[in-house]
Amino acid sequence: MLEILSHQYLKNFLRDQSIRWEHIYSFGRIISKCIENDSTYLINSEIFSSYDWLPPILISLFLKEEDSTFILSKEKIQFISQFQIDSLRNLGFNFILKNDQLIFANHHIRLITIQNLLNDPNSRNLRNHRIVYSGIEDIKHDLKNHFRISLLKKDWTKNFNEFELINQKFIKVYDSLKKKFFMRKILGNSYINLNEKEISFFSNFFHENSFFSDKFLRVNKALSEGWACWVKLNDTNLDWTLYLQPIDELSHIKEFFSNNKFIFLSALRKDNFFQMYFKKHNLDIDLVINFKSNFEEKKISLYIPSKQLLPNNPLFTISILDKCKKLILFRKGLTLVLSDDIDLKTNIATELASKYGKRVLLETIPSGKNEILCSSFDWWIMNSYLIQIPEQIIIPLLPIPNMSEPINAITVSHKKKLSQDWFRDFFLPQARIKLERSISPLRRNSGKLIILDGRANKRNWGRLLLQNIQPSKKINFMLPFD
């Protein structure tokens, strides 16, 4: 009944709208069916990067008279409040919008970001609650940000007279550790990995002094649960910060997912990572569905030069700089160069700027049409919606996670102890997601993707990453490069 009724309401809603997504009715029926039979679905589509998919979900939640939660970005919550509320009221729905809650006579729908939901202690106690979770492709990143604890220098003291003696004692400990950490600092690396003796010291110290503050109590609990921990040095202020983060974030909210009913929405074309992530924790998804987006999908033009050098070759950087210069010759439109290696990214930007001047930008929103933008993968993913679609994307290095980051090194060590394939289970899925999200705009204009990392052809996992770039067509040469 919900499926039929929501279809009728959606049909009336779309009469006055300019939404042009041919699968919107099918999507609406799938959503209604999932809500009605209390199943858990994962729906993948690049449409979720737009706003066109919101009405079918809202209408189904309106008609289903039970409390529900809709997780989505701040921007989409604002869009609903500003542009869709009046149109939905015109369909005959009677509700009040207050503090991002749609309040009906018999139920209410909460619109909330994942950050606010994770910070709300009451949300973790929900049972048998219907939750629509959009942006699930970012779940690992969101959980990392939520759980990570940073203990700054200011957290070691309190501005009260009665704590003066304790403050002096704690600052003495802090300064003693600072001296030890800075003596171990390696040039070019601000991170310090802690040994077992240091972790044991921290465990005992924070256990004995957990009464001091909520922050100390959280650190004590994290250490007792075996969270990863490391230190970051600040050369400017000559201080240090202790960081803690769980190795397996999802295990800490597994009950939340198993106790409630979900519709997961991923803006990836095909989200294999999330399925694998859930399956490892014995969490079930009843059905996985892929929808095409609202644009005509075109094949990405994929170019991988033959005889590419591997990144460990001493001549790799020189080779990359030379090839980037050639690949930009006579090109019109935006060229994007992506690298998570800070030194390589800076070198490429500097070399290109010496030849092309102000056309070259380093992680800056372009204002022209024929510019060269150098950035990290994460910066591009966060800002791509503000920038025109590139004519070509050059990737000097595949986005394999960096072992110099402590959380990655600690996770790898943990997986080795469990005899797990840390590369294929941890590094490769993250690289695949980052690559997929970075190149997805090229499906709109059949833009060129150039990969200069020799591992793309010479390693089995590299060839596997290439196979996942779909739809694509290989091109064998690019003048004047060849």
Q: Verify that 160 and 286 share a domain, yes or no.
A: no
Q: Verify that 264 and 310 share a domain, yes or no.
A: no
Assign residue 447 the CATH number of its domain: 3.40.50.300
Q: Please report whether residue 446 resides in a domain.
A: yes
* pLDDT grade for 83, boundaries at 50, 70 and 90: very high
* pLDDT grade for 481, boundaries at 50, 70 and 90: low
Q: Verify that 66 and 175 share a domain, yes or no.
A: no
Assign residue 104 the CATH number of its domain: 3.40.50
* Residue pLDDT, tens place only, 289-312: 999 999 999 999 999 988 889 999
Q: Verify that 305 and 273 share a domain, yes or no.
A: no
Q: Please report whether residue 120 resides in a domain.
A: yes
Q: Verify that 319 and 449 share a domain, yes or no.
A: yes
Q: Verify that 394 and 324 share a domain, yes or no.
A: yes
Domain, as residue range, for 284: 2-126+256-290
Q: Please count the CA atoms within 13 angstroms of the CA of 429 that sit on its side-chain side.
A: 16
**353 token code pair:** 């700027």
Q: Does residue 482 register a pLDDT over 60?
A: no
Q: Please report whether residue 389 resides in a domain.
A: yes
Q: Please report whether residue 480 resides in a domain.
A: no
Q: Verify that 442 and 312 share a domain, yes or no.
A: yes
- Higher-confidence position of 82 and 187: 82
* Residue pLDDT, tens place only, 311-323: 999 999 999 999 9
Q: Verify that 339 and 431 share a domain, yes or no.
A: yes
Residue bearing tokens 């503050």: 213
Over the chain, what is the mean pLDDT? 93
Q: Please report whether residue 61 resides in a domain.
A: yes
- Average pLDDT of 155-168? 91
* Residue pLDDT, tens place only, 410-419: 999 999 998 9
Q: Does residue 274 register a pLDDT over 90?
A: no
Q: Please report whether residue 481 resides in a domain.
A: no
Longest CA span, the chain: 74
Interatomic CA distance for residues 427 and 433, integer angstroms: 10
Interatomic CA distance for residues 377 and 373, integer angstroms: 12
Q: Does residue 479 register a pLDDT over 90?
A: no
Q: Please report whether residue 136 resides in a domain.
A: no
Q: Does residue 141 register a pLDDT over 60?
A: yes
- Average pLDDT of 368-396? 94
Q: Verify that 34 and 180 share a domain, yes or no.
A: no
Q: Please report whether residue 142 resides in a domain.
A: no
**386 token code pair:** 């503000």
Q: Verify that 30 and 102 share a domain, yes or no.
A: yes
Q: Verify that 207 and 228 share a domain, yes or no.
A: yes
Q: Verify that 361 and 442 share a domain, yes or no.
A: yes
Q: What is the pLDDT of residue 432?
A: 92
Number of domains in the chain: 3
Q: What DSSP line would sit under 234-257, residue for residue?
A: ETTTTEEEEEEE-SSSGGGGHHHH
Q: What is the pLDDT of residue 480?
A: 56
Ranges of H-type helices in 298-341: 316-328
* Residue pLDDT, tens place only, 38-53: 889 999 999 999 999 9
Backbone angles phi, psi at 51, to 5 degrees: -110, 0
Order of strands across the sheet that contains 191-193: 149-151, 239-245, 228-234, 191-193
Q: Please count the CA atoms within 13 angstroms of the CA of 84 that sit on its side-chain side.
A: 21
Name 111's bridge partners.
Answer: 70
